[in-house]
Amino acid sequence: MTRERFITELRQQQEPLRRFLLALCGGDDALADDIAQDALVRAYVASGSFLGLSKFSTWLFRIAYNCYMDHCRKAKPQQVDVEAAVQIPSADTADASFRYQQLYRALNRLPEKEKAAIALFYFEDRPVKEISAILEMPSGTVKYQLSMGRQHLKQYIQL
Amino acid sequence: MKEIEDFLRENKPRVKNDPAFILEAQRRMESVEGIKSEVDRQHRRGRVALVVALAAGLAVGVLVTALAFLYPVDPESMADGFWDSARLFVQTWKMYLMVLVAVLAVALGLVLSRPSGAAIRS
């Protein structure tokens, strides 16, 4: 894959990729962007090995998820500043701010796999088959993670 | 459960449209290109050194083996000097020297038949 092609694909995928990582990082946009940049470098270095057997976005999201998991393994557990959700551009009302804070707080309490499955299914509208390729787990396990994630979120989010 | 699903779909995290993100990604890609070309250059240099070493070893080995076959020495008539000892050594071990020459020839053939960037791409 040429550099120009890679950048073209990247322009299309940057927003979904950053949104996915933002959800995984519980609203910490600086950390999400750092991991996204790290993932892009890894993807660029490995772009010669991309054979087109899966969609570019699936491949890129898998690399990003692995980068995020590497970060989780290395980083000490820390409290994400959920108040940062107030800074989100769409959160232009107090009500929206509250909803985002509630969402990120709830996502932060989920196990990583559940969080990733929920983010890909509900925020990125990816089918279960694709989520299974990104998270490298069978479709049945993805469905189980989604079900558990929904149950947990129901406990954590007051509607 | 429907409420949770609706809540998630209605409250997708939104990211700021940040042109600096793509610029930063491009800057990092340029750095990667720089590192790649430097590694490539060093691999090429190492490959040239390896080919030269193998070719020199092969030439010297062939020459010494040829001399050992063309001018066999008589161990009885030799003095105890360094060159006499060396000639006797070659005379005694010339079969192994031939094997070594063959190994060098095969190694040189393998190195030359490999594509130059293979080490980086694999």
A35 touches chain B (CB under 8 A): no
Q: What is the mean pLDDT of residues B59-67?
A: 86
Question: How high is the pLDDT of residue A138?
Answer: 96
Q: Is A106 helix (H, G, I), strand (E, B) or coil?
A: helix
- The answer, yes or no, to whether residue A79 has pLDDT greater than 60, is no
Distance of residue B19 Cα from the nearest chain A Cα, in angstroms: 10
Task: Quote the percentage of chain B above a pLDDT of 90.
Answer: 6
Question: How high is the pLDDT of residue A127?
Answer: 95
- The per-residue pLDDT for range A19-36, each reduced to its tens digit, is 999 999 988 889 999 999
Task: Quote the percentage of chain A above a pLDDT of 90.
Answer: 55
Cβ(A18)–Cβ(A38) below 8 Å? no
- The answer, yes or no, to whether residue A39 has pLDDT greater than 90, is yes
CA dist A147 and A118 (Å) reads 9
Q: What is the mean pLDDT of residues A89-108?
A: 77
Could you tell me the end-to-end alpha-carbon distance of chain B, in angstroms, rounded to an integer? 48
Q: Which two tokens stand for residue A84?
A: 């940062």
CA dist A82 and A100 (Å) reads 9
CA dist A68 and A35 (Å) reads 6
Q: Which residue type occupies A31?
A: L
Cβ(A72)–Cβ(A112) below 8 Å? yes
- The answer, yes or no, to whether residue B118 has pLDDT greater than 60, is no
Q: What is the mean pLDDT of residues B105-112?
A: 86
Give the lowest-confidence range in A85-94, A105-114, A134-143: A85-94
Cβ(B101)–Cβ(B65) below 8 Å? yes
Fold of A1-78: Rna Polymerase Sigma Factor; Chain: A (1.10.1740)
Question: How high is the pLDDT of residue B122?
Answer: 33
Touching A: B residues 24-53, CB under 8 Å: 24-26, 28-29, 32-33, 36
| Residue whose tokens read 């969402």 | A103
Cβ(A152)–Cβ(B1) below 8 Å? no
- Average pLDDT for chain B: 82
Could you tell me the end-to-end alpha-carbon distance of chain A, in angstroms, rounded to an integer? 47
C-alpha triplet A101, A103, A107: angle, nearest 5°: 115
- The model's confidence at residue B3, banded by pLDDT at 50, 70 and 90, is confident
Whole-model pTM over 0.90: no
The answer for residues whose C-beta is within 8 angstroms of residue B116's C-beta and 6 or more apart is: B43, B44, B47
**Which residue among A3, A19, A48 places its CB closest to the CB of B13?**
A19
CA dist B83 and B85 (Å) reads 5
- Average pLDDT for chain A: 86
Q: What is the mean pLDDT of residues B47-69?
A: 87
Question: How high is the pLDDT of residue A93?
Answer: 65
A51 touches chain B (CB under 8 A): no
